Structure 1
């Protein structure tokens, strides 16, 4: 069995793991990342897909978390304007839940805590007429508008992994860590091989180990390391449903429910509305998480309480659920009240074998979490460089002035033969790297096998060669959401193609 030596071995191919690996590589460290399944195959592709400060966290006085998250919105928007863009949110006012003065104070803080520059300020709006009414029931007459950002969460993970690899990180998917033992001044880690591409198991010697396994963080300590799980780590399930589009317009709604939780309705994939999320305590293997009928009913009921057009479980075209690993610092009884802040637990074991456990966190603050992780590890790697990611683009994000509209207009002039919807989807997914998919093609025929819709062989091969796609589901549900758009026959053709290749 071969043995390699690295400075840092990161376990977990979600947003925190790929973010830490990328940051470490940019500081000059030799890094290996191991993921047991596909990139973003769990929590990091099951979010509400928002880069946001967390307006409701103000009620729990989490000002540090909100400030950090708000300041990150525009940093991330600048780094990847193809997969992140501004989104306007409308909060219909319900007198029985929160008084208007409280909402205005909260939005004032929200506007000013994070140093907002690009995004427009909040304001009171009239919901009785015009596009903001958007099918709401007549009882909702006034509301409040504010701004956050939307993100393609699974692609954010893939782009961090891609940038990490281009900076020297070896990224192993479908390669579970089987065991990790302290030996001398480091770790000996056994990693399973990816049978899909014929990789064999291997041993890796690492100076430091990062446990970024998300909802598996506790079981990884128990089973792979042989340590003791921290009792404050709690698993919370969040579920979402996708229904046919509920209203016109590109704005989202933030709906207040009678249990004082909030639910978002967000324009999704052109033809749909994303509704979520729930907060339910979870026990069991995170890999088996599924939405429950009760959660579907809960989300439908929130929609029906606010909109004229009612939805039922029969209207749900797709759903997904994920498990959030939250660090409970104060013994909260309510799952929704547990902090979304992160905790970095550093263990400097006997002989100098370093372990950094990552608990909690949210997708918005992943970059700052990675910075803080490397700052904690700095004493063990004095040769490492300083912070650098705040001004760095993610792959495809080097769009002039972060102006996606002008960028897409330029593509329309260059690729006149590309259908507009296909061009828009490719531009949003790949940004300036769209040329690597188009190649020398001068027509759709030049893109290779046509699977259906606007999916062609050149894109699939790019995802295999550059983004670790190994199956049709990797392409249809994580690197894209084409599973919502392609007919069954097209998806079957893609699966047959993967089987033959």
Structure 2
């Protein structure tokens, strides 16, 4: 079941500015790009009191930021490439992120079966020692060696794997992480314009004059004191084509592809497998009923927004997973695939797997400030955003400092349900229990999905409902009209794909007929339900 996007619904243009007709929309900073880095920067800047407008040509997280392996991790394998600074920075961020949104992020234990033909035991132990000690840990337990002949993680594996190493990282719903940052940016005064492309940006000493065009052809003119280029894989292209900057750095576009198969093991741990080509792949519990296997590293030379997995990548992932699992993984087992293009800063490395995953923030103040984001990874997005804001505030004569560390993302503060937080994983379980007591009429599977997706904002979905009938019609199994109305009104959803593949992964669980029912709902209901936030004056 490869993903086939549906067309967006036809709906009125509601993104027109509130300024007088003909007047440009004025702001301090225009952010181009609605992936994780763009929304993170918009959130940080808006929280410091700057007036921010963010435009995204498609849906939030519709490309790279919804196509990751969905891990909050330090990057154990990057130690082999001596990326100690990147690994340390990522390790420091793991628990900051886990505590900020325990509904969409949680700790995950990883099992690495030892293959003597790969890395020797001493090298793995040395790497795990560094991994345990490069950053302080309060929530995540340290690494350990296990006997796979007796450990639960050994049961699905071939008998030749008798020793394993277990360590901690975290899981994240990547697309929802993007939406939560956009919601928080908006709560701090930012204007979020989805399906709105920046077609031209002209620079002078006084500022930027930008032209935005919505999917329906409406034009919005923006005057900004500074511009942030967070266009991800399009960063270089945007600078050259739309912003008139000819001398730019270069990106290395590397495709990462994943396959999803029916659940291959029952325990809650994930696997990290070493391959003969010195790469690694993960096998991760996914959406209750599935296992996610990925990723590949393949040079991408085609159109950026149309990356898809190819058969050789599927064969590679099946073959490498089958080296470890007792039950082989075959092409017939694959129920869904996805692929994304990683925008990596070109460091002239020959091996795509060796290209740095670190980021570079480039500030140009020759005229009005221009900040370009090169590279990056989900785990370090908050730190990247903080550093970007630190760079951009001085030329704007703005003094407030960073504020996001230790702050909850929308829905992450569960204290109204559970009291004082203790640790993110157990806090969520207590929240789910409290939700069950408050709404005993909610089916357990629906309740837990809503708890995971919305956290303490779940009341915005449920409203005053006292039973399932109060949630409106059941458009598809477990998906009621009340949730669809909420997603259209508050989370920028405009078509079925936004709901089925980004705001949730319900599309993976539904039949084609059930997915079509959601498409039909949008065709008949969403025009009246969806309301984009007005542009602040």
TM-score w.r.t. length of structure 1: 0.97
Is residue 328 of structure 2 the alignment partner of residue 305 of structure 1? no
Once residues 28 and 179 of structure 2 are traced to their aligned partners in structure 1, the CA distance between those partners, rounded to angstroms, is 22
Find 2:491's aligned residue among 467, 484, 491: 467
Partner of 1:428: 452
* Alignment deviations for residues 72-94 of structure 1 (CA, whole Å, 9 cap, x no partner): 01000110000000000000001
1:254 to 257, 272, 276: 272
CA distance in 2, matches of 1:180, 1:314: 48
Paired with 2:233 and 2:302, the residues of 1 have a C-alpha distance of 10
1:226 aligns with 2:241: no
Distance 1:297 1:316 in 2: 10
Aligned to 2:524: 500
1:317 aligned counterpart, secondary structure: strand
- 1:229, 1:238 → 2: CA distance? 28
SS in 1 for 2:393: helix
Supply the distance in 1 between the matched residues of 2:49 and 2:483 (Cα, whole angstroms). 32
Deviation at residue 267 of structure 1 after TM alignment: 0.2
For the pair 1:376 / 2:391, whether they are aligned, the reply is: yes
- Equivalent position of 1:340 in the other structure: 357
d(CA) in 1 for partners of 2:302, 2:469: 48
Query: What residue is the counterpart of 1:389 in the other structure?
Result: 404
Shift of 1:184: 3.8
Which residue does the alignment assign to 2:375?
A: 360
Change (3 A) 1:479 1:229: farther
| Secondary structure, aligned partner of 2:264 | coil
The offset of 1:284, in angstroms, is 2.3
Q: Which of 412, 415, 419 is equivalent to 2:436?
A: 412
Between the aligned partners of 1:480 and 1:229, the Cα distance in structure 2 is: 40
For 1:445 and 1:488, locate their aligned partners in 2 and report how far apart those are by CA, in whole Å: 25
Asked if 2 retains the 8 angstrom alpha-carbon contact of 1:124 and 1:143, the reply is: yes
Q: Quick check: 1:456 aligned with 2:474?
A: no
Structure 2 gap segments, 5+ residues each:
1-21, 416-420, 526-537
Q: 1:50 aligns with which of 60, 63, 71?
A: 71
User: Aligned equivalents of 1:493 and 1:377: distance in 2?
Assistant: 46
**Bigger mean CA offset, 180-189 vs 169-178:** 180-189
C-alpha distance in 2, partners of 1:120/1:231? 40
Matched residue of 2:192: which SS? Answer: strand
CA contact (8 A) 2:475 2:521 kept: no
Shift of 1:489: 2.2
Query: Where in structure 2 are the equivalents of 1:140-289 lying within 5 Å?
Result: 140-195=161-216, 200-228=218-246, 230-289=248-307
Secondary structure of residue in 1 paired with 2:111: strand
What secondary structure sits across from 2:153 in the alignment?
Answer: coil
Contact 1:218 1:229 in 2 (8 A): no
What's the offset of the Cα at 1:391?
A: 1.4
Pick aligned residue for 2:96 from 75, 91, 95: 75
SS of the counterpart of 2:370? Answer: strand
Structure 2 Cα separation of the partners of residues 229 and 316 of structure 1: 44
- Note if contact 2:283-2:292 (Cα within 8 Å) is conserved in structure 1: yes
CA distance in 2, matches of 1:194, 1:201: 10
- Check 1:161–1:27 CA distance in 2 against 1; reply closer, same or farther (3 A cut): same
SS in 2 for 1:159: helix
Q: What SS class does the counterpart of residue 264 from structure 1 fall into?
A: strand
> Hey, what's the Cα distance between the residues in 2 that align with 1:383 and 1:141?
58
Q: How does 1:11-22 map to 2 (within 5 A)?
A: 11-22=32-43
In structure 2, what is the equivalent of residue 317 of structure 1? 335
In structure 1, distance between residues paired with 2:477 and 2:150? 37
